[in-house]
Amino acid sequence: MIVLAVLSGGSLRAQTLSREQELERGREIYVRNCAICHGVVLEGMDAPASSQQKTVLAVPPLNEAGRAWLLPDSMLYNVVRLGEHALARKQSAWKMPSLRYSLKKDEIWTVLNYVKSTWTDEQRAGQAQTTLRDQKQSEFEKW
């Protein structure tokens, strides 16, 4: 469930979205901002056929066929917010742009929740464990 502040007659009021409404909102934001590269059904995109470089990477799928579920929430968030600068990878044919000026923090999380909804139960559980390990590691590093 997500709570949004909505202007109503000049005043703010809280609006609670159901899980289904939140996922639909995430899908809409995804289609407007991500689908051009990652595909409408999160299927990704093949590398350009003209490329002969071995370092060329395709735009990865984000659905259950992809590997995004192997990353913790912090990395997924930073990749969307900061773009490919959040990744330590070699030159690729596609450049993941930073969306920090296009999407608000809550919109990024809403999109990520939508993406996660396309994964299998096992992938979501595995990703939750990866996120938990990452959070514990981050807490340890603060000391």
pLDDT tens column, 89-125:
655 556 788 999 999 999 999 999 999 999 999 999 9
Give the residue-averaged pLDDT of 66-84. Answer: 93
Task: Using DSSP, state whether 77 is helix, strand or coil.
Answer: helix
Q: What is the dihedral of CA 112, 117, 118, 123, to 10 degrees?
A: 90
Q: What is the pTM of this model?
A: 0.78
pLDDT grade for 5, boundaries at 50, 70 and 90: very low
For 9-64, how does the pLDDT look when each residue is reduced to its tens digit (9 = 90+)? 544 445 677 999 999 999 999 999 999 999 999 999 876 665 555 545 578 899 99
- Pure H helices in 34-86: 35-38, 73-82
Q: Point out which residues pair with 3 in neighbouring strands.
A: 16
Q: Cβ-count burial of 13 within 10 angstroms (0-12 exposed, 13-18 middle, 19+ buried)?
A: exposed
